[in-house]
Amino acid sequence: MKISTKGRLATATVLGAIGLIAVATWSAIEEVEQADSQRRQTTEIARALNGLRLVTFEFILHRQARAREQEREVSQRLDHLLADFSAGVSSDDPAAAELTHDLRARNATADRLFVELLASPVVEPSAGSADPATVRFESQLSSRLLILQQETLADAFELSDLAAQRIDAAQRRVAVVTLAGLALIALCACGAAWLVHWKMLRPIARLEQATREVAAGNWGYRLEIHGDDEIAQMARHFNAMTHALRDSFHQIERSNHELAALNKEIEAFSYSVSHDLRGPLRSMDGFALALLEDYSGKLDEDGEDALHRIRAASQRMGRLIDELLGLSRVTRTELSIRPVDLSHMAHEITDSLAKHHPEHPVSLRIDEGMTAQADPALMRIAMQNLLENAWKFTGKSASPAIHVGMRNTGERREFFISDNGVGFDMAYASRLFGAFQRLHHENEFAGTGIGLAIVQRVIRRHGGTIGVQAELGKGATFTFCMQEFEPEHPAAPVPAHADPISHSPAHGGPHAPAEGASCERV
C-alpha cells in the first residue's frame, strides 16, 4: 500500500472518530434536553398534585362550594400535563409509560372520588347532628382520596427520578463515547507515527546511506526494496541511477585504459623516433664529413657543396626530430605546479640570450613581481621560446626593444611579451601556433617553426590560452593567461597523458583562435 493511501486512511479514521464523538455528543444532548424537559414536567405534575391535595384538604375541612371549581381546574391542568407527558414518553421507556398510564388512571379515579365526595350531603362539623353512617362514608372517601393522591405524588417523584436517571445515563454515554473516540484518535496518531518512522524515516535514512556509499565510489551498492510505496519506487529509481552511473563510470574507465594504451603507443613511437630516426642522420652527417675530410683534394667545389648540403640537411632534420620530441614531451610530462617567479625567469633567459648574441643588443623592460602557479620546467620552455622569438625577430630593428609584463583583467592575470621586431600580417595569425608553421623564410630568420606550438601546448596544459597581436614591420605582442591554480593543491591540475584542452572548459575548443579567445585587449 502506498504511503499516501495509508495517510488518507489514517486521516479518514481520525475524521470518522471525531464525527462519531460529535454524533454521540449531539444525541446525548438531545436526550438530556428531553429528559430535562420530562423532569420539569414531572415537577409541574408534582406541583399540580400537591395543589390537588391542598384543594382536597381545604374541601374536607371547609366544605366550600368553590373547592369544586378549584379541584376541577387543577385536575384538568393535571390531566393536560399528564397527557403532554404521556405524549413525550418514548416507547423505549416502558417504566415511564406504565407510570404515566397509572398516574392518569389514578387521577381519573381521584377525580371520580372527589365528585362522589362532593355529591355527599354537607356535614356541618358544628351541627353535630350528622348521620354517623354518612360521616363514616365521607371519612372513608376522604381517606381513599388522600391515599390515592399520596400514591400519585409518589409516582410523580418516581417519574422525576427516572428522568434524572436518563440524564445520568446520557452523560455517561457521552463520556464513554468521547473517551473511546479519543482512544481511537490516539491509536491513529500512534499508527501515523509508526508509519512515518518505519515506512518513511527509516527508508530515507537507508537512501541517504546509499547516496553516501555511491558518492564514495561504491558503485556496486544496491538498496534493498521493500513494498511498493513511493519510497520503494524512489529506491528503485536510485538503483537504476546507480546502475547507469556505474555503467558510465566503467565506460570512462575503459576509455581511460584505451587512452593509456594509446599513450603508451605514442611513447613507444617517440622513443623509436628518438632512437631509430636519428641513427641514419648521424651516419649521413658523419660519412659526409668523412668524405669531405678524407677526399678533400679529389672533390671539386660542387661535390664539396653537395656534401655540405647533406650535412646541413641531416643536422636540420636532427633538430626537427628533437623539437618534435620536445613538443610531445610537453604533452606527456606530468605537471608539477609550484609558485614560479616569471620576472626572475625572464631575467635569467634574457641574460643568457644577451650573452649568446652580443652582436644584437636589445633594450629590455621586465616588470617585477610577476608570479604564477605553474610547472617551472614547462614555463621555462615557453618563456624561452617566446623570448628567443622576440630576440630573433627584433634582429633587424633599428633600436630593438622587448617588454615582458603583466596586467589584470578582472578574473585573470595576463602576461605578455611584446617586441618591436618585424611582426607579421595578422591574416596569417591562425597558422602561427601550428607545428612546423613559419611566417618567414628560414634564410631570413632561422628556426624550425615548432617553438610556438610548444608554447601553446604549455599554456594549454596550464588551462590557459595564448593569443597574439601583430603588425607587419611594427612588432608582435604575445599574451597568455593561465588557470589560477590553488597553491594548497599542487597535485590537482591537469594530469599528463590527457588532452589538455578538455581540462580548460572556460577556454576555447581544440581550435581556439590564435587571436586569443579569452586574452582580450592584446
Partner 1 sequence: MNESDKVILLVEDSADDATLTLRAFKRSHLMNPIVVARDGIEALDFLFARGMHADRANAPLPTLVILDLKLPKLDGLGVLKAIRAEPMTQFLPVVILTSSKEEQDLISGYALGANSYVRKPVDFVEFLEAVKVLGIFWLMLNQTPTQRTSS
Interacting residue ranges for partner 1, rule: CB under 8 A:
270-271, 274-276, 278-283, 285-287, 289-290, 311, 314-315, 317-319, 322, 325
Q: Report the residue number, 196 or 289, with the smaller CB distance to partner 1.
A: 289
Q: Report the residue number, 156 or 379, with the smaller CB distance to partner 1.
A: 379
Q: Report the residue number, 34 or 270, with the smaller CB distance to partner 1.
A: 270
CB of 300 to partner 1, least distance (A): 22
CB of 297 to partner 1, least distance (A): 18
Q: Report the residue number, 185 or 496, with the smaller CB distance to partner 1.
A: 496
CB of 383 to partner 1, least distance (A): 20
CB of 334 to partner 1, least distance (A): 11
Q: What DSSP assignment string belongs to 77-104?
A: HHHHHHHHHHHHS-TT-HHHHHHHHHHH
Q: Cα separation of 271 and 491, whole Å?
A: 27
* Torsion (CA) 41, 43, 45, 51 in degrees, nearest 10: -150
CB contact at 8 A, 434 and 464: no
CB of 271 to partner 1, least distance (A): 6
Q: Report the residue number, 322 or 484, with the smaller CB distance to partner 1.
A: 322
Q: What angle, 0 to 180 degrees and rounded to 10, lies between the N-to-C axes of helices 230-272 and 202-215?
A: 0
CB of 287 to partner 1, least distance (A): 7
Of 154, 142, 175, nearest in space to 99 by CA? 154
Place of cell 391515599: 147
Q: Report the residue number, 120 or 315, with the smaller CB distance to partner 1.
A: 315
| 3-class DSSP string for 328-363 | HHHHHCCCCCEEEEHHHHHHHHHHHHHHHCCCCCCE
Amino acid at position 243, single letter: H
Q: What is the DSSP code (8-state) at residue 200?
A: I
In sequence order, the 6+-apart residues with CB closer than 8 A to the CB of 395 are 360, 421, 445
Q: Cα separation of 428 and 514, whole Å?
A: 9
CB of 272 to partner 1, least distance (A): 9
Find the radius of gyration of the CA atoms of the chain: 60
Q: Report the residue number, 205 or 290, with the smaller CB distance to partner 1.
A: 290
Of 378, 305, 379, nearest in space to 346 by CA? 379
Q: Please, what is the Cα angle at 206 between 205 and 209, to 5 degrees?
A: 85
Of 467, 435, 426, nearest in space to 453 by CA? 435
3-state class of 371 per DSSP?
strand
Contacts of range 353-361, beta carbons closer than 8 Å, 24 or more positions apart: 353/387, 353/388, 353/391, 357/391, 360/391, 360/394, 360/395, 360/400, 361/400
In sequence order, the 6+-apart residues with CB closer than 8 A to the CB of 318 are 278, 281, 282, 285
CB of 284 to partner 1, least distance (A): 9
Of 451, 517, 519, 452, nearest in space to 481 by CA? 519
Render the burial of 36-72: b for 16+ CB within 10 Å, e for the rest: eebbebbebbbebbebbbebbeebbeebeeebeebbe
CB of 462 to partner 1, least distance (A): 20
Q: Report the residue number, 191 or 318, with the smaller CB distance to partner 1.
A: 318
CB of 349 to partner 1, least distance (A): 21
Q: Report the residue number, 280 or 473, with the smaller CB distance to partner 1.
A: 280
Q: Report the residue number, 279 or 369, with the smaller CB distance to partner 1.
A: 279
CB of 266 to partner 1, least distance (A): 13
Q: Which burial class, exposed, middle or buried, applies to 503 when counting CB atoms under 10 A from its CB (0-12, 13-18, 19+)?
A: middle
Q: Report the residue number, 322 or 367, with the smaller CB distance to partner 1.
A: 322
CB of 278 to partner 1, least distance (A): 5
Q: Report the residue number, 103 or 307, with the smaller CB distance to partner 1.
A: 307
